[in-house]
Amino acid sequence: MVAGDDGFDRYRPSAVGEMLRDRPPMARELPVFDPDLAPAEPGPLFVDWLVQALEAGVLDPQVMTLSTVDADGVPDARALVLRDVDAAEGAWLFAAEANSPKGRQLALSPMAALSVYWPPLGRQVRVRGSVEAAPPAVSAEEFRGRSPGARVASLVGRQSEPLGSLAAYDLAADEAQLLLDADPALVAAGHTVYMLRAAEVEFWQGDPSRRHVRLRYTRTGLGTGRIAWTSTLLWP
């Protein structure tokens, strides 16, 4: 945006703003979501929407944005792969290196949010709750089930540290590949599966006329071992 000449904080759209304004989102036919037909719990509904995204050919529908906070309370976010959903427990599973920025942030503040948007369907899901690490045996099993390339990358480690050159990474990856060849059962130190136990889950169905439908589930009985949910519609 460009500031006006009158000294006030008045702005007019830049070329980028004009370009975005000319490409309105969700200008297409989208599915209809009837919240009256939604299940009593969010897990089964998420799995249903995920399956529909897969069937609709959505690219990488399992990629979600994980949001955490650092030691100073500053938010951080990055895309990662959803590994599983425990629909009965209302839990979402993902993996990370314990010594990565997100791993360290979760150790300091074990609360996080996951969000996903599937553009062809105009659907968004937001999940917030507490995070806990799975037992080491679970993390090891998940690691061994990964592709060779993914295991090599995890064995290289040093995530988010400064990198001098791409050649330096290639050399480290070659060394990691040799370790994996020598021991196919090798597991990267610090590889951890995390489980986000949802306190809130919101399902958002977009609408071209902006009559969006939002349904929020809230877990009740937190800390009692009892799993129950209430749901409510939200204004768009």
d(CA 180, CA 155): 9
Q: What's the confidence (pLDDT) of residue 214?
A: 98
pLDDT mean across residues, the chain? 92
Q: What's the confidence (pLDDT) of residue 9?
A: 55
Q: 191-205 and 213-220 as β-strands: parallel, antiparallel, unpaired?
A: antiparallel
* Span 62-72, pLDDT tens digits: 999 999 999 99
Q: Is the pLDDT of residue 158 over 90?
A: no
* Span 129-157, pLDDT tens digits: 999 999 999 999 999 999 999 999 999 98
> Who has greater pLDDT, 117 or 5?
117
Q: Which runs of consecutive H residues, i.e. helices, occur in 93-229? A: 101-108, 136-144, 148-156, 166-182
Asked if 229 and 217 count as a contact pair (C-beta separation under 8 A), the reply is: yes
**Dmax (CA) of the chain:** 70
Q: What's the confidence (pLDDT) of residue 160?
A: 87
Asked if 63 and 80 count as a contact pair (C-beta separation under 8 A), the reply is: yes
Confidence bin at 43 (pLDDT 50/70/90): very high
Q: Is the pLDDT of residue 12 over 50?
A: yes
* CB within 8 Å of 107: residues ≥ 6 apart: 98
* Span 14-25, pLDDT tens digits: 899 899 998 989
Q: Does the reported pTM lie above 0.85?
A: yes
d(CA 191, CA 157): 10
Give the lowest-confidence range in 47-51, 173-177, 200-204. Answer: 173-177
Place of tokens 């314990």: 98
Confidence bin at 8 (pLDDT 50/70/90): very low
Task: Please give the backbone phi and psi of residue 12, each rounded to the nearest 5 degrees, phi first.
Answer: -125, 150
Task: Please give the backbone phi and psi of residue 141, each rounded to the nearest 5 degrees, phi first.
Answer: -65, -40
Confidence bin at 234 (pLDDT 50/70/90): very high
* CB within 8 Å of 174: residues ≥ 6 apart: none
Percent of the chain scoring above 90 in pLDDT: 83
